[in-house]
């Protein structure tokens, strides 16, 4: 594929990003380019080799942006959904990186390809989904990924990575660990099981009243997940937020046992690797932050884990609150909370 920088999408200058991030943080990009074709993506290698620095924007639902964004913003907007192949076990369904995630899940369910319905209603794009290995209601994306197509910008080459090469972990992957602007994910192929089984381990889903009337199907699980999420989570269009703001911390078993002795109520789930996952929401609530504000931002009054923007916040307001919550949880429980969204720096280093 030719890689001339003439093929780059036009650069839009001094673009306000407030409507392009779900925390509605006031932020400005010096340059924004919207990528709608693979040959535009292939031009990025040469552009970066000539000194350009930037990072990839999807739907902006997992970001903390600085007021002034350094470098270029490369927005992924490639579209298209195709059935690539059918094996005895799977439908192999490929979606371009700029497809909106929820609409893609809905399209799969409508065509009879079950397997992603537990991840319905997660905001953002298909291309960003592998970055933090999105997960919800008892399912992680990694369980359904067949392969990820990406352009590796500094190496100027296209890659097709099998799921095992993506380094998936809890809200983590090799893409999340890489420097900003290293990868641009252009498509993801999913292996969706032809012999579909409902995944109803999550308590809210298991207790869903609909299963008394009819056995679950992909579309009814999809509807149940949407209804549960709508009832529980604040809509970013009404109250700007980025979903869960902190990861559930995983601590060594001995530390978890000591904590449970002092605080018997702490929700804890043993992991297969011997660690124990603790409920970050509980720690935050016990530390007194549920519903509390600091400046224009605060922790949601019903969901201690969700940081919300009540006014005209900038990234620094968010980081100040996050730091205060982290300090109080550390003092009270000796546990360090890790921020889940990606912090975009106000300076970009090497990619
Ligand atoms: C209300 C709400 C609920 C949420 N619920 C969940 C949930 O249940 N589970 C969950 O896991 N997450 C959840 N999230 C977080 C978020 O929706 C996901 O992380 C989502 O995948 C982010 O997609 P995005 O397109 O908005 O990415 P962005 O926020 O635009 O970007 C996130 C990161 O991915 C990188 N990136 C984006 N696109 C690409 C690409 N094409 N190639 C390479 N890198 C890329 C960016 O550079 C950045 O580092 C929630 C968020 C909100 C606001």
Q: DSSP states of 252-266 as a string?
A: -HHHHHHHHHH-TT-
Residue 345, pLDDT score: 81
Query: Which residue's C-alpha comes closest to atom 23 of ligand 1?
Result: 124
Cβ of 166 less than 6 Å from ligand 1: no
Distance from the alpha carbon of residue 46 to the mean position of ligand 1, in angstroms: 27
Query: Which residue's C-alpha comes closest to atom 18 of ligand 1?
Result: 62
Interior angle at CA 107, CA 175 and CA 186, nearest 5:
25
Pocket test for ligand 1, best of 24, 37, 105, 128 (most atoms within 8 A of CB): 128
First to last CA, the chain: 22
Q: Which atom of ligand 1 is nearest to the CA of 61?
A: 26
250: CB partners within 8 A, 6+ apart: 170, 271, 275, 276, 277, 278
C-alpha span between 322 and 255 (Å, rounded): 23
Residue 294, pLDDT score: 98
Distance from the alpha carbon of residue 264 to the mean position of ligand 1, in angstroms: 34
Q: Which atom of ligand 1 is nearest to the CA of 22?
A: 53
260: CB partners within 8 A, 6+ apart: 266, 268
Residue 242, pLDDT score: 96
Cβ of 127 less than 6 Å from ligand 1: yes
- Write out pLDDT tens, residues 191-244: 999 999 999 999 999 999 989 888 999 999 999 999 999 998 999 999 999 999
Residue 349, pLDDT score: 62
Query: Which residue's C-alpha comes closest to atom 15 of ligand 1?
Result: 62
Query: pLDDT per position in the chain (351 positions), as tens?
Result: 666 788 999 999 999 999 999 999 999 999 999 999 999 999 999 999 999 999 999 999 999 999 999 899 999 999 999 999 999 999 999 999 999 999 999 999 999 999 999 999 999 999 999 999 999 999 999 999 999 999 999 999 999 999 999 999 999 999 999 998 999 999 999 999 999 999 999 999 999 998 988 899 999 999 999 999 999 899 999 999 999 999 999 999 999 999 999 999 999 999 988 999 999 999 999 999 999 999 999 999 999 999 999 999 999 999 999 999 999 999 999 999 999 999 998 666 665
Cβ of 97 less than 6 Å from ligand 1: yes
234: CB partners within 8 A, 6+ apart: 241, 300, 303, 306, 308
Residue ranges and CATH numbers for the domains of the chain are 5-76 (3.30.43.10), 81-232 (3.30.465.10), 241-343 (3.90.78.10)
Residue 1, pLDDT score: 67
Active site residues: 171, 244, 340
Cβ of 131 less than 6 Å from ligand 1: yes
CB 47 within 8 A of CB 113: no
Cβ of 151 less than 6 Å from ligand 1: no
Phi, psi of 101 (to 5 degrees): -55, -50
C-alpha span between 125 and 107 (Å, rounded): 14
CB 224 within 8 A of CB 208: yes
Residue 70, pLDDT score: 84
Residue 112, pLDDT score: 94
């Amino acid at each position: 594929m030719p890689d001339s920088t003439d093929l780059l999408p036009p650069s839009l200058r001094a673009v306000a990003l407030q409507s392009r991030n779900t925390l509605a943080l006031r932020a400005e990009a010096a340059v924004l380019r919207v990528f709608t074709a693979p040959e535009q993506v292939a031009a990025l290698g040469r552009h970066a080799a000539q000194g350009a620095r930037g990072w990839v924007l999807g739907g902006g639902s997992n970001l903390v942006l600085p007021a002034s964004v350094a470098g270029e913003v490369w927005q992924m907007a490639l579209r298209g959904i195709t059935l690539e192949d059918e094996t005895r076990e799977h439908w192999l369904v490929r979606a371009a990186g700029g497809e909106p995630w929820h609409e893609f899940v809905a399209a799969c369910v409508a065509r009879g390809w079950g397997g992603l319905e537990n991840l319905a209603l997660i905001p953002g794009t298909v291309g960003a989904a592998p970055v933090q290995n999105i997960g919800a209601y008892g399912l992680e994306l990694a369980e359904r990924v067949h392969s990820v197509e990406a352009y590796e910008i500094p190496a100027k080459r296209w890659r097709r990575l099998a799921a095992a090469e993506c380094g998936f972990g809890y809200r983590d992957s090799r893409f999340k660990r890489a420097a900003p602007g290293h990868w641009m994910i252009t498509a993801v192929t999913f292996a969706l099981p032809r012999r579909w089984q409902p995944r109803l381990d999550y308590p809210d889903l298991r207790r869903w009243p609909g299963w008394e009337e009819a056995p679950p199907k992909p579309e009814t699980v999809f509807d149940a997940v949407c209804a549960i999420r709508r009832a529980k989570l604040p809509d970013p269009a009404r109250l700007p937020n980025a979903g869960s703001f902190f990861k559930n911390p995983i601590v060594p078993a001995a530390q978890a046992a000591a904590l449970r002795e002092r605080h018997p109520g702490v929700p804890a789930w043993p992991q297969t690797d011997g660690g124990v996952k603790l409920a970050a929401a509980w720690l935050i609530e016990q530390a007194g932050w549920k519903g509390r504000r600091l400046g224009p931002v605060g922790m949601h009054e019903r969901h201690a884990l969700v940081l919300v923007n009540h006014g005209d916040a900038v990234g620094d307001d968010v980081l100040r609150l996050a730091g205060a919550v982290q300090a109080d949880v550390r003092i009270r429980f000796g546990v360090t909370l890790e921020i889940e969204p990606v912090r975009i720096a106000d300076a970009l280093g090497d990619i």
